[in-house]
Chain A
Amino acid sequence: MSTTILEAKHINKYFHDPIRVQVLNDINFSINKGEFVSLTGKSGCGKSTLLYLLSTMDTDYEGQIFIDQEEMPKKNEGFLAKIRNEKIGFVFQFHYLLNEFNVLKNVMLPGLKLNKYANEEVEHRAMEKLKILGIEHLALKKANHVSGGEKQRVAIARALINDPHIIMGDEPTGNLDKKNSDMVFDIFNRLSSELNQTLLIVTHDPGFAERTHRIIHMEDGRIIH
């Protein structure tokens, strides 16, 4: 079981504008393969900031981050882009689908960027992901012609396309009603139990957090438990 997928060592992060404020204070934790972890805390406690550091999109920090036991460099934008493409899947509060493309193409984009499989193969895999999420009938619809809950499911399919080591979510249910939130949780839960997918989800919905395997609770830039 215990392959470490994500590890943070002595993470400190400061905001410099307008004055120097410490937002993260000596963060240490690790996530093993297959874990379904939620990261909770009040607004402003630094949980989203921590997620962006872990996702390699923000590189302004002190300490070390290991993804798949490999330390992330703080520079080399191209390399980090490749890591995000290959090893991390994102689900945000907002779906961020590209309206110019249909649903299928939106899911395929990161796969095409990875350039590991042929076009047809990527398309086939994208269809499979859509099937897992029960939205294969939407494949050829324009991204702005599907409902909010469906958009979020498309975004999850997009996160899955490259079989990432870890899926990171930033309040993925924040914009959804109860019914759709439950459905998104069920999807995450199924991914975790059936496909042994590792997930790290930032949320401040206590109902959502309680049902995950493990809760990391943060307060004032520190991990409480």
Chain B
Amino acid sequence: MKRKLLIDIAKSLLFARWKQTLVAAIGVTFSITMFITLLSFMSGLNDLLDGLILNRTPHIKLFNDIKPNENQPVKLATEYGSAHHFIESIKSDANRQSIYNSEAILASLKKDKRVLGFSPKLTAQIFFNDGSIDITGAMNGIDPIEESRLFHFNDYVTAGNSADLTKISNSIILGKGLAGKLLVNIGDVVQVTTSKGERFQLKVVGLFQSGIRDFDDVQSYASVSTVQKILSQPSNYISAIQVKLNDIKLAPKMAKEYEQLYQIDAEDVQTANSQFETGSSIRTLISYSVGITLLIVAGFGIYNILNMMIFEKMDSIAILKATGFSGTDVKNIFIYIAISIGIFGGLVGLLFGFGLSATIDQIPFNTASLPTIKTYPINYNPKFYVIGIVFSFITTYFAGWFPARKASKIDPVVIIRGK
């Protein structure tokens, strides 16, 4: 009841100066609109750029690295156990590239609850033969269905269907640049030669475009079994396991765990692509600071307008106090005014921000390197809207608090005497 009365008074004061109020609200609206648009656009762009690499990158990659053996023979000599060894001309191990006991590892990954999914991979160096020309290329053996589910492989297949790799035997998907060099299209047959000199005829079932040109000029994809056949290897031969986790943040910890558990090399996405993380976080930081600056400026606008209002309404404040409204009541009235400007301006700002983002989302954005993107990227994360409204509430509260405190301290005697 008492609060209702104070809100009633606040409302009357607000509408009595509705033009000023509107200007203050427009300030908040503008800043919230820009805040939402900026963050949505920036974070859409971040997601796009990260997605370029991170979507296609496994969170953890299990493989056998080519490196010298850490346990050199001299280490086994117990009498020199505490000595420092100088060993020269170490060569990397003639380690085989396939993963030992891959089937058992796959079975154990399947049981791990933290793992969203995984797909095996193996790579072969091959030559594409086109008449007298041999083009060096790489052939990746993948499970196209899992690869599409986990690493968006199908998004980059611009012609044909990735699932055909499993349906049609001896089939291949070529990078767009590579297909251009070989002058082949879907349905044509390409001839490849392995490093051991064996020749195979493979049918092209699709073309892919990753957005990275160097990549598209040399890479090709086939099913795991096709590549195993080309390499004359058994069906348990795989050179890497790509793991995708439910929570990407666990990757560094789990990579270490898998290294221990499977006696294998494991690389996590944070280590492999640390530059992306840095870029994203700095872009996000910039957008937030610009957005919050806008809000603080709007806050100063509200502060000014309330200060003016208090100056004009000195008499009213004095009589309210003389007739029994306490300082706290007066303070609350002005805080209600500030907050209602903030909430109203903020909500309209959210709507406008959504509208502006949606408009940007419609603007065509075609680039050869990004086949899946047709318009400017926008991230409609509700988080931005929540932050926007909370911040507009907080800044207007503080913008109102200082003038309101001043109003509450007005001494009615001074004003009434002054007349």
Interface residues of A (CB under 8 A from B): 48, 52, 55, 57-58, 77-78, 81-86, 90, 92-94, 96-101, 109-110, 112-115, 158, 170
Contact = CB atoms under 8 A, between A and B. Distances in A.
A85 B325 CA distance: 7
A99 B327 CA distance: 21
B334 to A, nearest CB: 14
B413 A57 contact: yes
Contacts of A158: 323
B326 A77 contact: yes
Given A57-B412, A77-B327, A78-B328, A101 B321 contact: no
Contacts, number: 78
A199 to B, nearest CB: 17
Contacts of B316: 96, 98, 100
B324 A81 contact: yes
Given A78-B326, A96-B322, A112-B5, 19 more contacts: A57-B322, A57-B412, A81-B321, A81-B324, A81-B325, A83-B324, A84-B324, A85-B324, A86-B324, A92-B416, A96-B318, A98-B320, A100-B13, A100-B15, A101-B12, A109-B5, A109-B320, A110-B324, A113-B2
Contact of B323 (A58, A99, A113): A113
* 7 shortest interchain CB distances as A-B pairs: A85-B324, A81-B326, A96-B319, A100-B12, A110-B323, A100-B16, A84-B324
Contacts of B328: 78
Contacts of A170: 416
Contact of A58 (B318, B319, B326, B413): B413
Interface in B259-283: none
Contacts of A55: 322
B419 interface: yes
A170 B1 CA distance: 32
Contact of A109 (B318, B323, B411): B323
A113 B413 contact: no
B16 A90 contact: no
Interface of B: 1-2, 5, 9, 12-13, 15-16, 315-316, 318-329, 411-413, 416-417, 419
Contacts of A112: 5
Nearest to B419: A94
B319 A82 contact: no
Contacts of B12: 98, 100-101
Contacts of A109: 5, 9, 320, 323
8 contacts: A55-B322, A78-B326, A81-B325, A81-B327, A84-B323, A94-B315, A94-B416, A115-B1
B364 to A, nearest CB: 52
Contacts of B417: 48, 52
A93 to B, nearest CB: 6
Contacts of B9: 109
Main secondary structure on B side of the interface with A: helix
Contacts of B323: 84-85, 90, 109-110, 113, 158
A99 B315 CA distance: 10
A57 B321 CA distance: 9
B16 to A, nearest CB: 4
Nearest to A162: B324
Nearest to A96: B319
A81 B320 CA distance: 10
A84 B320 CA distance: 11
Contact of A98 (B1, B319, B322, B412): B319
Given A113-B2, A113-B5, A96 B315 contact: yes
A110 B9 CA distance: 12
Nearest to A118: B1
Contacts of B1: 115
A84 B322 contact: yes
Given A98-B319, A101-B12, A113 B324 contact: yes
Nearest to A106: B319
Nearest to A58: B413
Contacts of A86: 324
| Most A CB within 10 A of own CB, among B9, B12, B324, B326 | B324
B228 to A, nearest CB: 84
A110 B1 CA distance: 13
A113 B322 contact: no
| Most B CB within 10 A of own CB, among A100, A114, A158, A170 | A100
Contacts of A57: 321-322, 411-413
A101 B316 CA distance: 11
Nearest to B324: A85
A52 B315 CA distance: 16
A196 B320 CA distance: 26
Nearest to A174: B419
